[in-house]
Amino acid sequence: MKAAPADQLRLLDLADLDARLRQTEHARRNPPQAARVKELLESRPALSHELAQRQSAVDDLRGEQDRIEADVKVVQARRDRDAALLQTVSNPKDAAGLEHELASLARRQRELEDAELEVMEQLETAETAVAAQEALLADTNAEGVRLSAEAKQLVADATARVEELARDRAAVTASVPADLVAQYERNTARGGVGAALLRARTCTGCHMMLSGTDLGVLRQAEADDVALCPECGCILVRTGESGL
């Protein structure tokens, strides 16, 4: 195949654009935030379950506190009733009975109030645990939202860059003979490099130094001959740097 040296040189621009397209596509498909966002999403059910458990403990303690407060009110009401009765009875035996009951009610009220204080302390600890878990869940959600927004912006920027590079690529391919582009595309379709510079007798596509025999063949080739790397098959673009 024949192609003007200037057209062959343009293939290096095409190869550079393709390399940048691959890098940008990879960035678009694999934003660095994705792994952390996935980790955060996977952690949310466990965090929510733990929050529900802690809230349930708070609800149970509040229920226990309400029950004790109700019992205290009942005991206090009975004490008030007995104290009022004590002021009206004249029978010593009845008075003694009321005094005994008042003493028992006083002990019961103290026990209930002590129990209420203990529950209040437990409730304070449990509410603190709920607040801590809520903060952790909120931080997790906020981080997820922030990273998702960053990832979306990165994808949007990469998409715009891909479109820009694709336009540049189309412009380059339009300026190069179709048969030369076709050879380049066949090389890349095999998973290799389409074209690379021959620098200091080394193919910059596969980084292999050419043998003396291969270099001899290249020295005999015309400037418009399209040469292929004997190692990787890419189009070898020859310049003053090639060392021929």
Q: How far apart are CA 159 and CA 151, in angstroms?
A: 12
- Residue 244: pLDDT above 80? no
Given pLDDT bands bounded at 50, 70 and 90, which one contains residue 58?
very high
pLDDT tens-digit readout, 197-228? 999 999 999 999 999 898 888 899 999 999 99
pLDDT tens-digit readout, 123-135? 999 999 999 999 9
Q: What is the pLDDT of residue 94?
A: 80
Cβ neighbourhood burial of 122 (10 Å; 0-12, 13-18, 19+): middle
Token duo for residue 111: 């026990």
What mean pLDDT comes out for the span 54-78?
A: 96
Token duo for residue 226: 């399209």
pLDDT tens-digit readout, 140-187? 999 999 999 999 999 999 999 999 999 999 999 999 999 999 999 999
**Residue 238: which H helix or E strand, with range?**
strand 235-238
- Residue 190: pLDDT above 90? no
Neighbours of 236 (CB within 10 A): 25
DSSP secondary structure, 98-165, as one string = HHHHHHHHHHHHHHHHHHHHHHHHHHHHHHHHHHHHHHHHHHHHHHHHHHHHHHHHHHHHHHHHHHHH
Contact 203, 21 (CB under 8 A): no
Q: Where are the domains of the chain?
A: 5-26+177-238, 31-155
Domain 31-155, architecture per CATH: Orthogonal Bundle (1.10)
What mean pLDDT comes out for the span 62-72?
A: 96
Contact 226, 180 (CB under 8 A): yes
For residues 90 and 183, the model is more confident at 183
Q: What is the pLDDT of residue 7?
A: 94
Q: What is the pLDDT of residue 166?
A: 96
Query: Can you give the pTM of this predicted structure?
Result: 0.70
